[in-house]
Amino acid sequence: MIEVVQQVEAFAIENDAPKIDTLVLQIGELSSVVPEYLKKIYPMAIEHTLLEATKLEIEIIPGNGKCKVCKQVFNLLKTNGICPQCAGTDIELLSGKEFFIKEIICFDADDKDT
């Protein structure tokens, strides 16, 4: 998390320190990162940084795989990695291990509050 904060800080400095409102992260549900934990430590991680008082948003990317036998695409977590169609276990991972900074929303950007 600290690393992410440093990355965003570097971005802010490069871009003449825009006022950051919200940091949006994309996290795959198969990654080792626990979103709830991130949200918990975020206020600590941003203390005394440029990100102080910013908000954190997390988007979860489903852990999807494609069966190499029958080409079925399915959610790996729900089926424990076993193809629901043919019970195959030779699966190609499509998504779910991501950990990205998706977006850095600044105050000047379009008003996204709904």
**Under a CB-based contact definition with an 8 Å cutoff, are residues 86 and 72 in contact?**
yes
**Under a CB-based contact definition with an 8 Å cutoff, are residues 92 and 65 in contact?**
yes
Q: b/e per residue, 87-101, with b = 16+ CB within 10 A?
A: eeeebeeeebebeee
Q: 68 to 87, contacts with Zn ion by CB under 5 A?
A: 69-70, 72, 83, 85-86
Q: 34 to 73, contacts with Zn ion by CB under 5 A?
A: 67, 69-70, 72
Q: What is the DSSP string of 7-27?
A: HHHHHHHHTT---EEEEEEEE
- In the complex with Zn ion, the residue whose CB is nearer, 6 or 89, is 89
- In the complex with Zn ion, the residue whose CB is nearer, 5 or 67, is 67
- When asked if residue 26 is in the footprint of Zn ion (CB under 5 A), the reply is no
Smallest gap, in angstroms, from Cβ of residue 88 to Zn ion? 4
Q: Which residues bind Zn ion (CB under 5 A)?
A: 67, 69-70, 72, 83, 85-86, 88
